[in-house]
Amino acid sequence: MKDGPLTTTHEAVAADQAVETAQRPAPLASPTVAVVGLGYIGLPTAAVLASCGARVVGVDVNADTVAAVNAGQVPFVEPDLDAAVSEAVRSGGLRAQAVPPPADVYIIAVPTPFAAGHRPDLSYVEAACDAIAVALTGGELVVLESTSPPGTTQLVADRIMIARKDLSADGSDNRPQVHFAHAPERVLPGRIMHELVANDRIVGGLTPVATERARALYGSFCKGKILMTDALTAEMSKLVENSYRDVNIAFANELSVICDQMGIDVWELIELANHHPRVDILRPGPGVGGHCIAVDPWFIVAAEPKHSRLIRTAREVNDSKPGWVVDRVVAAAERYRKPRIACLGLAFKADVDDLRESPAIEVVRQISEQLPNALIEVVEPHVSALPEELLGKAKLGRLWQSVETADVVVLLVDHSEFKGEGLNLGSIPGKAIIDTRGTWR
């Protein structure tokens, strides 16, 4: 044993904290932040940061998006975002371009879809890394916001460090250090501008200094708690949140199929069961959509395929629900030689224009394949054109015109326009009504 005074555990921890505090870079009063990816998360984040005094450069490979943002316009629908972007651009706090500039902070907010076999597709993240690497000089914070499989933040650091061997990710030598962290978004489309500020935020770095740098960045605009952890746990937290919701939705969706076979009104059943003080069953639907819940559980399955049986099964239940809806539509339309079918709603949830992973799109696509003679009209008040996969398979219609001429009416999304007074379409006689949302009971 080494001679000398003994140091208590408390004293050792205090000493470590003092060293760590001394290593923390001083927070920047007005940092330059490059947000790579100006989609549903990146653009709102850029606007909020600009409103809090940061000098923000939005980066996107889509020239139309860059032009729209520089004109103070928003290329998609999100309440309150248009005013925030317009003001940020007008005041000079936000501008957009195609290539990442030199900056103090880089936020990666690009898509992370999955490829064939539900394997994670990280090509957008990799492209963002390559673009950022060129601009780095040392001392920057790189934050991955994109929802990602466990270990992606480390992959980001590794890829950038391979490209920039003159820099370091851990500060273990004399090379200038770049700090890497993960800060998953956890907002709801339609409420993004509110929830970006109000919700608690999880941040996790590859090093304690990176975690602290990320905490300071998000603390500059988040009124919720900033919860600090490591990068791997931060990545997993977002996947777990959405997998939890997916499993619970799968229970409701499976219950709706069972009740249909037994001749039970699933909506009444759920309403009755939820009177139990410890039961809160969700509402079933035509499947699960959106970029998060329909995708994130597969990242866990890909990471641990042997130990994620429940999560995989829930995904399979929810992915099969559009086919079940289609079977009901086909059965209702079989008595018509050339059935007219009105499909109401195409977005993945009510009152937004977001079509990502929408089960409604899959329902319409499958109907067109199984009923090639059908005339399909889609009523979606939040879009002006059908997505590419439905071109030539259906056409956009107007609500009452489509309903009045239809033999089969299928409610896929419970938009406000479909629920107002006088819009109880389920009571129209002479039509087959398939209400996947329980809106017209």
Which residue shows structure tokens 């949830």? 349
Q: What's the rounded Cα separation, in Å, for the pair 5 and 313? A: 58
Pairing of strands 201-205, 179-182: antiparallel
**Is 305 in the same domain as 415?**
yes
Q: Is 94 helix (H, G, I), strand (E, B) or coil?
A: strand
Phi/psi at 324 (5° precision)? -65, -40
CATH, residue 337: 3.40.50.720
**Residue that is last in its domain, among 224, 256, 272:** 224
> Is 2 among the domain residues?
no
Domain finish residue from 189, 224, 259? 224
> By percentage, how much of the chain surpasses pLDDT 90?
81
Q: 59: which strand partners?
A: 36, 97
- Among 224, 259, 277, where does a domain finish? 224
pLDDT reported for residue 5:
39
- Assess whether 266 and 141 both reside in one domain: no
Q: Are residues 39 and 180 in the same domain?
A: yes
Residues 256 and 138 in one domain: no
The reply to whether 215 and 260 lie within a common domain is no
Q: Is residue 440 part of a domain?
A: no
Structural domain including 328 reads 244-435
Catalogue the active-site residues. 238, 292
The answer to whether residues 181 and 318 belong to one domain is: no
Q: Under a CB-based contact definition with an 8 Å cutoff, are residues 45 and 78 in contact?
A: no
* pTM of the predicted structure, to 2 decimals: 0.85
**Is residue 390 included in any domain, yes or no?**
yes
- Residue 250: name the closest of 311, 291, 326 by CA: 311
Closest CA to 239 of 143, 120, 353, 319: 120
Query: Whose structure tokens read 């330059």?
Result: 32
The pLDDT value given to residue 173:
82
Together in a domain, 269 and 209: no
Residues 256 and 216 in one domain: no
Render pLDDT for 30-58 as a digit per residue (tens, 0 to 9).
899 999 999 999 999 999 999 999 999 99
Same domain, 220 and 248: no
Q: Is the pLDDT of residue 14 over 80?
A: no
Domains in the chain, number: 2
- The reply to whether 380 falls in a domain is yes
The C-alpha atoms of residue 290 and residue 428 are separated, in whole angstroms, by 31
